């Protein structure tokens, strides 16, 4: 991005591909304000205190915006753990023909 020596931050600004599950964990960690490492595939509204209905909506919106997908009302109600989210997102992205690894920084 930069051609001159404004290190060290600039190195880190370069995009890094993330595994889909980690992108989802990252979004969830920001939305629910919990540490990234505290989120596992089985994390759910039962295990994460701040996973309430408003934050659920916030997470759905962040996923839709960041991954350029849309969830139906029925699907929104099914997204009740990290692994369920990953599975549904994967299905949607493969229908879109989009590469799930992306440039979330």
Partner 1 sequence: MQRMREAINEAIEAGRYGEARSAVEMLWKGQPTGAVANYVLSCIPRWRQTIPGKPWRVYFLRSFTLEPMVPLLRAGGGLEGLDLTVGVGALGAYMQEVLSADSPLYRFQPDSVIVAIQTRDIAPSLWENGVPGSALAAVAEDVLDQYSKLIQALRSYSQADIILHTLEEPVHPSFGVFDAQCTDGQAAAVQEINQGLRRLAGQWSGVYLLDYDRLVAAHGRQNWHDERKWLLVRLPIRAEYQYLMANEWLRYLVPLAGRGAKVLVSDLDNTLWGGVLGEDGSDGIQIGLEHPGAHYRALQQTLADLSRRGILLALCSKNEESEALAAINRHPGMLLRSTAFAATRINWTNKAQNLREIAQELNVGLDALAFVDDSPVECERVRRELPEVTVIELPPEPAAYAAAVRRHPSFERLALSKEDSARGDIYCAQRQRASAQSESASVEEFYDSLRQELEMSLVEPVHELRVAQLTQKTNQFNLTGRRYSELQIHDLARRKDTSVLQASVRDRFGDNGIVGVIILRHSGDVGEIDTMLMSCRVIGRTVETAMLALLLQYSRELGLQWLEGRFVPTSKNRPAKDFFSDHQFELVESDEGGSRWRLNVERNSLDCPRWIYGLLRKDGVLGESLAS
Residues at the site binding partner 1, with contacts judged by CB under 8 A: 1-4, 6, 8-9, 11-13, 16, 18, 22, 26-28, 30-31, 33, 36, 54, 57-62, 64-66, 68, 70, 72-73, 76, 104-105
Among left, alpha and beta (phi > 0; psi -120 to 50; other), residue 30 is alpha
Question: Cβ closer to partner 1: 64 or 83?
Answer: 64
Q: How far is the CB of 62 from partner 1 (least distance, A)?
A: 4
Q: How far is the CB of 2 from partner 1 (least distance, A)?
A: 6
Question: Cβ closer to partner 1: 56 or 87?
Answer: 56
Question: Cβ closer to partner 1: 37 or 95?
Answer: 37
Question: Cβ closer to partner 1: 59 or 79?
Answer: 59
- 27-to-7, 44, 91 alpha-carbon distances in Å: 27, 14, 18
Give the burial string for 61-96 (b: 16+ CB within 10 Å, else e). Answer: ebbeeebebebeeebeeebebbeebbebbeebbeee
DSSP state of 46: T
């Amino acid at each position: 991005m930069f051609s001159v020596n404004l290190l060290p931050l600039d190195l880190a600004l370069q995009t890094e591909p993330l595994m889909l599950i980690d992108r989802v964990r990252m979004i969830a960690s920001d939305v629910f304000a919990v540490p990234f490492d505290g989120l596992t595939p089985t994390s759910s509204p039962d295990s994460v205190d701040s996973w309430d209905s408003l934050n659920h909506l916030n997470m759905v919106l962040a996923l839709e915006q960041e991954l350029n997908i849309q969830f139906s009302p029925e699907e929104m109600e099914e997204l009740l753990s990290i692994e369920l989210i990953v599975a549904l997102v994967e299905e949607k992205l493969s229908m879109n023909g989009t590469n799930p690894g992306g440039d979330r920084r």
